[in-house]
Amino acid sequence: CRNAIKVTSTPLPQHTPKKPPTPFDPKKLAHILGGTAQVGDSGVVTVDVDRAEQMHLGGHAIKSGLGVATNVAFQPLDKNGSRALAIPDFALIAKEVNPVFKTMFKQGFINGCLYNQETDEQPQLYFSHQWAVGNPYDLAQKIRNGLNHTNSKFKT
Give the model's pLDDT for residue 3.
Answer: 56
Give the model's pLDDT for residue 14.
Answer: 61
Give the model's pLDDT for residue 150.
Answer: 98
Give the model's pLDDT for residue 99.
Answer: 98
As averages over each run of 10 residues, the pLDDT of the chain (156 residues) reads 56 62 96 97 94 91 86 96 97 97 98 88 93 98 98 90
**How far, CA to CA in Å, does 63 sit from each of 23, 50, 80?**
31, 9, 36
- State pTM to two decimals: 0.86
110 vs 10: CA distance, rounded Å: 36
130 vs 86: CA distance, rounded Å: 8
Residue-wise DSSP of 111-129: EEEEE-S-SSEES--EEEE
Q: Is the previous residue joined to 99 through a cis bond, with omega within 30 degrees of 0?
A: no
Give the model's pLDDT for residue 132.
Answer: 98
Give the model's pLDDT for residue 18.
Answer: 65
